[in-house]
Amino acid sequence: MKPQNIYIGFTTIILFLFSCRQGSEKELPVMNSIQLENSILSLTKEATNLNVPWDLQYDRINDAILFSEIGGAIRRLDIKSKQVLLIDSIPDVYQQRTLGLLGMALYQPENEQAYLYLSYTSKKDSSIFSNLYRYNYNPTGRLSNPVQLLQIPGNTGHNGSRIVISPDKKVYWATGDAATDTYAQDSTSLNGKILRLNLDGSIPKDNPIANSYVYAWGFRNMQGLTYSTEGILYTSEHGDAIEDEINLILPLKNYGWPLIEGMIDTEKEKAKVKTLAIEEPIKSWTPVVAPAGLAYYGSDVIPEWKKSLLLTTLKNQSLRILSLSDDGHRIIDEQVLFQDQLGRLRSVITLPNGDIYFCSSNRDWNPQKGFPKQEDDVIYRLRVSEKTHAPILHPQSVDTQPAAKDGHALYEAYCTSCHKSDGEGLTNTFPPLAKSNTVNGDEKALLQIILHGVQEKNMESIKYEGAMPGFSFLTDAEIITIANYIRTNFGNNAGKIESSSLTSLR
Ligand code: HEC
C-alpha cells in the first residue's frame, strides 16, 4: 500500500470511529419486510442472547428500551447504539417455571422523581407470594428506595401479571388467581383482579369499592394489559383448555372466571347469568393461542394498524393485529404475523414515534420445537421503511378451525403446546404420549383423561407439575379422532377406538 493510501485508510477509520462516538444510529440487517396495504415495515433484531425478557418499557429520557428478565435482571437497551446495560438485579425474586420477575411499568414525569413499578414472585418458607414494588428510577444509575406496595398469595402457576400507569396517575395491577378457584369471585381477595392504586400504593378515594384496591374481578391469569390513547383499559388472559380472552375493563364488572369461560355460550353459562351480571370478553379463542403481551397502537405512522391492539402469543407463536371498531369496544379484524417463525413471543410495546418493539420467550420453561435458537432470546423492532428487503411477509388472516376428521390438525391445535408435535412431552412437566401405557392401554381410561383432564396422578413414578385440562367441549368425532391419532403415531401401535366407547363417559 502506498503511503498516500495508508493515510486515506487511516482517515476513514478515524472518521468512522468519530461517527460512532457521535451516537449515530447503528443500522442492523433487515430480516424481513412486511408488506401491508400501503406501508412497508422492516423487521430487525435489536438485542440478542437475552434470558426470557418478560416486559418492555420505553425510557423516553434515555431513548432506551428498559426490560425485565424473568430471573430478576433489569436491563436497558440503548436505541441508537444497541448497547445493553445491566441496570440492577432484584435480590429476592423466586424463579421457577412461570414464576419470577414479571411485569413492570415505568413512570417518568417531567421534572419529578421517576418510578419503576415491578411485579415479581418471592418465596418464604414454603409459601409463594406475588409482590408489587415501587423503586426510584435514577436514569444514570441503579434502582433505589424499594417500597413494597402490596403482597398477595402466589402459587406455582397463575401469578399474572402486568402493570400500567394511567394518565391520571393511577397504577393498575392485573393479578392472577394463584390457581385457587375461590379467589377470582371473592371481592375481598386481591387475586384474580384488576387492582387500582395511587402512585404511593394507597387506595384511591374514587375506587369503585370504598377502601378496596379492587377495580374489576373474575380473572384467571392475565398476561397483557394496556391503556389506549382514548383511555380504555384492555387485558389479555389465558383460558384453561378453551377460551383465551381479550377484555375491555370497566369498574366493578365481573369477568366471570371460573363460573363462565369466555363467551356466555353454553346452557350452563346462560342459566348462570340470569342471576349474576357477567361481562363478556370482546374476543375469545378456541383452540387457545396463549395470549401474552398487549399494546395499543394509536399512531398515524402505520395507518393500516392505527386503532388496533397488538398481541404477542406463546402458543401459535405470533404477533396478532386486532383492529378495533371506532369506539374501541369491538374487535373487527384479526391478522397474524410471524406464526411459528420467531418462537414464543412474550411482550410488545409501541413507541411515541410509531416503532414497535417485541421480544421472544424461547428460553422459558416450555420451548417449542426448533427453539431456542442460538441468538435467543431476542428483542425485535418493526419500523416503517422506504424499500422492501427479501423475504417479504404478508399478514395472514386467522387460522381456520381444524376439520373433525383431521387427527394431525386437531392434535396440533389442542395438544402440541404441552405434549409436543413428536409426542415426547417435556421432562417432569408434560408426560410423553409416545409409548405411554395409558395411551396404548384401556380405551375408556384414555377417553376419560381426554374428556375430563387429569391432575397429580403419579405416572411411572414421576409427578408432573402441570395439570391437564379437560376437552369435553370437543365433539365426539373430534375426541375419537384425537385418541386414534395418538394411539397410532409416535411409535404407538394400539387398536382403533370406536365412537360407541365414548357415549357412557360424557
Ligand atoms: C396444558 C397442557 C396440556 C394439554 C394442552 C394437554 N395435556 Fe395431556 N397431560 C398434561 C399433563 C400435565 C398430564 C399429566 C397430569 C398428571 O398426571 O399430573 C397429561 C396427561 C395426559 C395423558 C396421560 C398420559 C399417561 O402416560 O398417563 C394423556 C393420554 C394425555 N395427557 C393426552 C392429551 C391429549 C390427547 C391432549 C389434546 C387433546 C392433551 N393431553 C392436552 C398436560 C396437557
Task: Map residue 110 onto helix, strand or coil.
Answer: coil
pLDDT in tens, 73-112: 999 999 999 999 999 999 999 999 999 999 999 999 999 9
Identify the DSSP state of 305: G
**7, pLDDT greater than 60:** no
Q: Output the CA angle 263-265-271, nearest 5 degrees.
A: 115
Instruction: Specify the DSSP element, H or E, that contains 361.
Output: none
β-strands 170-174, 162-165: how paired?
Answer: antiparallel
Q: Is the CB of 419 under 6 A from ligand 1?
A: yes
Q: Is the CB of 461 under 6 A from ligand 1?
A: no
Query: What are 117's three cell numbers?
Result: 413499578
Ligand 1 atom with the smallest distance to the CA of 417 is 5
Query: What are 448's three cell numbers?
Result: 376419560
| Residue 293 neighbours by CB distance under 10 Å | 28
pLDDT in tens, 398-436: 867 788 889 999 999 899 989 999 999 988 889 999 999
Distance from residue 471's CA to the centre of ligand 1 (Å): 10
Nearest Cα to 419, choosing from 450, 397, 456?
A: 450
Residue nearest to atom 42 of ligand 1 (CA): 468
CATH domain 31-394 topology = Neuraminidase (2.120.10)
Q: Residue 24: its pLDDT value, please?
A: 64
Q: Is the CB of 464 under 6 A from ligand 1?
A: yes
Amino acid letter for position 364: D
Query: What are 137's three cell numbers?
Result: 428510577
Report d(CA 242, CA 239) in Å as an integer.
Answer: 6
Per-residue confidence at 460, pLDDT binned at 50, 70, 90?
low
pLDDT in tens, 223-250: 999 999 999 999 999 998 889 999 999 9
Ligand 1 atom with the smallest distance to the CA of 446 is 29
| Alpha-carbon distances, residue 478 vs 414, 437, 458 (angstroms) | 11, 22, 27
Q: Is the CB of 238 under 6 A from ligand 1?
A: no
Beta bridge partners of residue 283, listed in sequence order: 246
Q: CB–CB of 153/180 below 8 Å?
A: yes
Distance from residue 240's CA to the centre of ligand 1 (Å): 13
Report d(CA 289, CA 285) in Å as an integer.
Answer: 7
Ligand 1 atom with the smallest distance to the CA of 456 is 18
> Which stretches within 190-309 are classed as H helix?
267-272
* Rounded average pLDDT over 335-363: 97
Distance from residue 504's CA to the centre of ligand 1 (Å): 21
Nearest Cα to 450, choosing from 492, 485, 425, 421?
A: 485
**3, pLDDT greater than 50:** no
Query: What are 47's three cell numbers?
Result: 438485542
Domain with CATH 2.120.10.30 in the chain: 31-394
CA count, 13 A, side-chain hemisphere, 16:
6
Q: Residue 461: its pLDDT value, please?
A: 63
Nearest Cα to 230, choosing from 156, 305, 296?
A: 296
Distance from residue 454's CA to the centre of ligand 1 (Å): 7
Q: Is the CB of 431 under 6 A from ligand 1?
A: yes
Please, which residues have CB within 8 angstroms of residue 500's CB and are 6 or more apart in sequence? none
- CA dihedral (99, 309, 58, 371) in degrees, to 10, reads 50
Domain with CATH 1.10.760.10 in the chain: 407-505
Per-residue confidence at 140, pLDDT binned at 50, 70, 90?
confident
Q: Is the CB of 435 under 6 A from ligand 1?
A: no
Amino acid letter for position 150: L
More reliable by pLDDT, 57 or 369: 57
Q: Is the CB of 485 under 6 A from ligand 1?
A: no
Enter the CATH code of domain 407-505.
1.10.760.10
Q: CB–CB of 430/418 below 8 Å?
A: yes
Q: Is the CB of 486 under 6 A from ligand 1?
A: yes
pLDDT in tens, 264-278: 988 999 999 999 999
Distance from residue 266's CA to the centre of ligand 1 (Å): 24
Q: Is the CB of 299 under 6 A from ligand 1?
A: no
> Which stretches within 154-193 are classed as H helix?
none
**17, pLDDT greater than 50:** no
pLDDT in tens, 190-207: 999 999 999 999 999 999
Residue 58 CA, chain-centre distance (Å), reads: 18
pLDDT in tens, 267-322: 999 999 999 999 999 999 998 899 999 999 999 999 999 999 999 999 989 999 99
Q: Is the CB of 454 under 6 A from ligand 1?
A: yes
Q: Is the CB of 436 under 6 A from ligand 1?
A: yes
Q: Is the CB of 456 under 6 A from ligand 1?
A: yes
Within 316-462, strands assigned E span 319-324, 331-337, 345-350, 356-360, 379-384, 392-393, 396-397
